[in-house]
Amino acid sequence: MEDIKSKPVKIDSLAEYQDESVVSREIIKKEVGTVTIFAFDKGQGLSEHSAPFDAMVQIVDGVAEITISGNKNIVKKGELIIMPANEPHALFANEPFKMVLTMIKSEK
């Protein structure tokens, strides 16, 4: 992370696509939440799960299929979606995509 502090960087350069893989790089890790960039190759995804944090996904390249509580959403480059805390969600790459995931701890 030190290599990107205090200078502009291209978001989509922080994680590169790898064949048949999901690549991630944590940019910020704090007690109150995290910011991570992901690169999903075509056909890759994250199976349904839930998290105790509200999460904002920003697509920075490609198109993502993001299912939240059974509702499928197509999210494109330049768009974002909020995944509420404790709701089941899954992500799938019908084509390669990159995203920034920002998770903020929910208040009790």
Q: Distance from CA of residue 75 to its chain's centroid?
A: 11
Angstrom distances, CA of residue 63 to CA of 6, 47, 80, 87, 105? 29, 17, 11, 22, 26
List Cβ neighbours of 2 (8 Å cut-off, separation of 6 or more). Answer: none
pLDDT bin (cut points 50, 70, 90) of residue 39 is very high
* Residues 18 and 9 sit within 8 Å (Cβ to Cβ): no
Global pTM value: 0.90
What was the pLDDT predicted at 62? 98
Angstrom distances, CA of residue 19 to CA of 11, 86, 95, 96? 20, 31, 12, 10
Domains of the chain, each with CATH number or no CATH: 2-105 (2.60.120.10)
pLDDT, one tens digit per residue, over 40-75 is 999 999 999 999 888 999 999 999 999 999 999 999
Beta bridge partners of 37: 25, 100
